[in-house]
Amino acid sequence: MPTPPFRADHVGSLLRPESVKLARKAFYEEGTLDVEGLRSTEDEAIRNLIRMQEGVGLKAVTDGEQRRSFWHFDFMGFLDGLTLEQREPEAGAQFSGVKLRPTIPVVDGLLDFPADHPHIEHFQFLAKNTDVVPKISIPGPSALHFRVAKQDIAPKEYQDVEAYTAAIAETYKKAVKAFYDAGCRYLQMDDIFFAYLCDPKHREAQKASGEDPDWLIDRYAWMMNEAIKDRPDDMFIGMHMCRGNFRSTHAAEGAYDAVADAVFNKTGVDIFFMEYDTDRAGDLAPLGQLSKGTQRVLPGFITTKTAEMESIDDLRRKFDEAAKYAPLDQLGIAPQCGFASTEEGNDITADDQRRKLELVVKTAESIWGGVEK
């Protein structure tokens, strides 16, 4: 079996086919489908998406997050000590021109990673149905701090931010071990809130809540490193950063300058997926903070938000620019984000999605001579 990192890869989430959308509605809203029927529909969709990913030439595949409603809350909601609440619509996170569904995480007990967390089983199903590398993506540790309001943290022990973030790191350390024990050798943790802390609006919001955004950046890097530092040598950790992705909209802007050193040099992560499809992400100069060695950055020059296809010539020119800051040998290509960070999905078609993934592979072949080089 091939071994990460790969020159061509993708973030993880994929559009839900109509069969899955209908099955989820029938199960969760209408009560007309039992859990076996839902699981059977999801299983079939995942097998089809595995074949699609393998067919375009990818060497790492995901389940497309077909069993989830959100990229992050589904994982968080099955942790011990955390509950998801449904509140009034205005409570939803604000994106560009639209609000996210008002699902709110509440820490009402001591955090822990349970042995029966369903994402372990999700990974095992994926692994049994592919001949290439199975990868699962979960929200990174920062999500449990950034997405949980102070007033929604009940335990007295967690009123101190250092104690709270230490508990998060310990919970994730257990998660990393559990995934490894289940056979996972490629785990991706989406720590998108590094990128949010590059946005002046989000930085000011953290200051208003009593937090120093620069301290948080270092603390988020510490949490990630604490979670993964004891992993065996044959386990690869990826990390995705973006500025929000809900129905082709975004929630943040700002270049990576404020976080580049912490992200590249303090997290201990092997593979970085970085949004770079618009000017919202700033220029490529922060790539210069990457240490020489085996770490790999996959700049997301290919967007998942629109169907318009990028050209290989333009992508090659962007990599020429990127290579001014980081060695070309430490670079690869991936789309800037997932195709469906929530079950609603981006405003593109399944055919657009496949063609984007084909372009990722063709670009890797054009620049590096293959996906595994």
Q: Please provide residue 50's backbone torsions phi and psi, each rounded to the nearest 5 degrees.
A: -60, -45
**228: closest CA among 267, 183, 181, 194?**
267
Q: Is residue 206 part of a domain?
A: yes
Q: Does position 250 have pLDDT exceeding 70, yes or no? A: no
The Cα–Cα gap between 151 and 226 comes to 26
Mean pLDDT of 275-280: 83
Mean pLDDT of 351-361: 98
Instruction: Confirm if 216 and 197 have CB atoms less than 8 A apart.
Output: yes
Q: How confident is the model at residue 202 (pLDDT cuts 50, 70, 90)?
A: confident
**Selected residue with higher pLDDT from 5 and 94:** 5
Q: Which pair of structure tokens corresponds to residue 201?
A: 């609006």
| % of the chain surpassing 90 pLDDT | 79
Q: Does position 299 have pLDDT exceeding 80, yes or no? A: yes
The Cα–Cα gap between 270 and 297 comes to 9
SS3 231: coil
Mean pLDDT of 79-85: 96
Strands (DSSP E) contained in the chain are 60-61, 80-86, 94-95, 98-99, 103-112, 133-134, 136-139, 186-190, 236-241, 271-275, 296-300
Q: Does position 306 have pLDDT exceeding 90, yes or no? A: yes
The Cα–Cα gap between 217 and 196 comes to 10
- β 103-112/236-241 pair status: unpaired
Domain range enclosing 146: 113-368
Q: Is residue 283 part of a domain?
A: yes
SS3 29: helix
CATH of the domain at 157: 3.20.20.210
Q: Is residue 5 part of a domain?
A: no
Using the 8-state DSSP alphabet, how is residue 287 labeled? G
Using the 8-state DSSP alphabet, how is residue 129 labeled? T
Q: Does position 248 have pLDDT exceeding 70, yes or no? A: no
Q: Is residue 248 part of a domain?
A: yes
Residue keyed to tokens 């998801």: 84
Span 30-49, pLDDT tens digits: 999 999 999 999 999 999 99
Q: Is residue 198 part of a domain?
A: yes
Q: How confident is the model at residue 373 (pLDDT cuts 50, 70, 90)?
A: confident
Span 106-133, pLDDT tens digits: 999 999 999 999 999 999 999 999 999 9
Strands (DSSP E) contained in 76-143 are 80-86, 94-95, 98-99, 103-112, 133-134, 136-139
Q: Is residue 215 part of a domain?
A: yes
Q: Is residue 10 part of a domain?
A: no
- β 133-134/103-112 pair status: unpaired
The Cα–Cα gap between 123 and 119 comes to 6
pLDDT at position 193 is 87
Instruction: Confirm if 75 and 113 have CB atoms less than 8 A apart.
Output: no
Q: Does position 72 have pLDDT exceeding 80, yes or no? A: yes
SS3 358: helix
Q: Find the helix or strand (DSSP H, E) in which 53 lies.
A: helix 35-56
pLDDT at position 242 is 82
Whole-Å CA distances, 83 to 68, 75, 79: 16, 11, 8
Region class of 273: left (phi > 0), else alpha (psi between -120 and 50), else beta = beta
Instruction: Confirm if 256 and 282 have CB atoms less than 8 A apart.
Output: yes
Distance of CA 245 to the CA centre of its chain: 11
Q: Does position 94 have pLDDT exceeding 70, yes or no? A: no
Indicate the number of domains in the chain: 1
| % of the chain surpassing 70 pLDDT | 93
Q: Does position 217 have pLDDT exceeding 60, yes or no? A: yes
pLDDT at position 92 is 46
Q: Does position 91 have pLDDT exceeding 60, yes or no? A: no
Q: How confident is the model at residue 236 (pLDDT cuts 50, 70, 90)?
A: very high
Q: Is residue 24 part of a domain?
A: no
Q: Does position 90 have pLDDT exceeding 90, yes or no? A: no
The Cα–Cα gap between 129 and 124 comes to 9
Mean pLDDT of 227-241: 97
Average pLDDT, the chain: 92
Mean pLDDT of 287-302: 95
Mean pLDDT of 275-304: 92
Q: Does position 101 have pLDDT exceeding 70, yes or no? A: no
